[in-house]
Homo-oligomer: A and B are copies of this chain.
Amino acid sequence: MTTDIKAALRALHIETPSWAYGNSGTRFKVFAQRGVPRDPYEKLADAAQVHAHTGAAPTVALHIPWDKVADYGDLAAHARDLGVGIGAINSNVFQDDDYMLGSVTNPDPAVRRKALDHLLECVDIMDATGSGTLKLWFSDGTNYPGQDDIRARQDRLAEALSAVYDRLGADQRFLLEYKLFEPAFYTTDVPDWGTAYAHCLRLGPKAQVVVDTGHHAPGVNIEFIVAFLLREGKLGGFDFNSRFYADDDLMVGAADPFQLFRIMYEVARGGGLEAGVAFMLDQCHNIEPKIPGQIRSVMNVQEATAKALLVDRDALAAAQAGGDVLGANAVLMDAYNTDVRPLLAEMREEAGLAPDPMAAYAKSGYFEKIAAERVGGTQAGWGA
């Protein structure tokens, strides 16, 4: 059994986002950190460090226009040289003054056109980089009751999604992200999985839902959604992070490691480890160093997955079938309570890596190097 678990863990790839290496913050303050990248090339270099020490983060998501470059082929080659690849392309239709009242759902058709053009441009970049996945998140919504027509905005959204869908190539898909609120504070045009699902269902198999673990109302059971979407064949991927309150964007597993375990259990149980589900991080390291923050997050997903794989499914099924509430729960908890860190350390050593990626990175001198080298220029951040 350990052999199977190890094989499954080896196959688990976690994509890190280029923007995690730049500065981030809240509306109150973005704290600048030393050594932060100034351009997409430096971001990829940092992402490569995460892969070098974990062996589990072989791709990097790009965000357009933050990662706009003159030559995407050159960027992809640079990534390859660093030992990583280009992952999902993330569109951005929320940081232009024109989008104050929405992008693809804006009441103004000219703004909608501009937003759609950007989305289509992202597919061009997919073609140029070989990326197979477009991630669509819309900040669109309203702040005040009456501000706009809720239903008409759905019509506009459907129209834009349809145009993007039609533009996708044979091996390309888009993932539609939902989010309860923020930055819109009254309605959001894709507020929940049901809305994303309904749009994707209408469009076809190349449209799938992405679950950002921080985008739900308090109390919502995320693993239920995961299980349901897998059953429907509509779970496209995850944006992993964690939260105590709203969309806090803390390191995945930091706020509720048991929840992450339950999610990964449903992923495993529903075949999600073998079904092309994209496991991506989407976090803000506002006060912690960025590269170690990503390394720790990759490790957290690995540990949760290892525990999920340790669940004795036969024993569980027997207890469930027998209506043994405490017994079934105990089977799950036995796996959760197991310390899987030795197993993962062993696997890393088998792969020629240091057993503790955090310590290995700290010792590597990489941070001291970038802190010394990356002086001057404009640090990357959410806006750049």
Contacts and interface: CB of A to CB of B under 8 A. Distances in A.
Interface residues of A, number: 107
A321 interface: yes
A186 interface: yes
Contacts of A201: 201
A358 interface: yes
A325 B143 contact: yes
A347 interface: no
Interface string A183-208: 10111100111110110010000000
Contacts of A231: 151, 154-155
A194 B191 contact: no
Contacts of A368: none
Interface stretch (A4-12, A63-71, A214-222): A214-222
A155 B194 CA distance: 19
A288 B325 CA distance: 6
Contact of A144 (B107, B216, B250, B266): B250
Given A151-B231, A193-B194, A219-B244, A26 B182 contact: yes
A219 to B, nearest CB: 5
A269 interface: yes
B326 A296 contact: yes
Interface stretch (A51-59, A161-169, A332-340, A370-378): A332-340
Interface in A125-159: 139, 143-151, 154-155
Contacts of A292: 326
A219 B217 contact: yes
A83 interface: no
B323 A266 contact: no
Interface string A236-259: 000000011110101100111111
Contacts of A197: 194, 198
A155 to B, nearest CB: 8
Contact of A221 (B191, B303, B330): B191
A84 B288 CA distance: 44
Interface of A: 24-29, 31-32, 94-95, 97, 99-101, 107-108, 139, 143-151, 154-155, 180-183, 185-188, 191-195, 197-198, 201, 216-221, 223-225, 227-228, 230-232, 243-246, 248, 250-251, 254-259, 262, 266, 269-270, 286-289, 292-293, 296, 303, 311, 316-317, 319-323, 325-326, 328-333, 336-339, 341, 358, 382-383
20 contacts: A26-B27, A28-B139, A100-B287, A107-B321, A108-B323, A144-B288, A145-B262, A146-B333, A150-B227, A151-B231, A154-B231, A181-B248, A183-B286, A185-B245, A185-B248, A192-B192, A193-B194, A245-B246, A288-B326, A326-B358
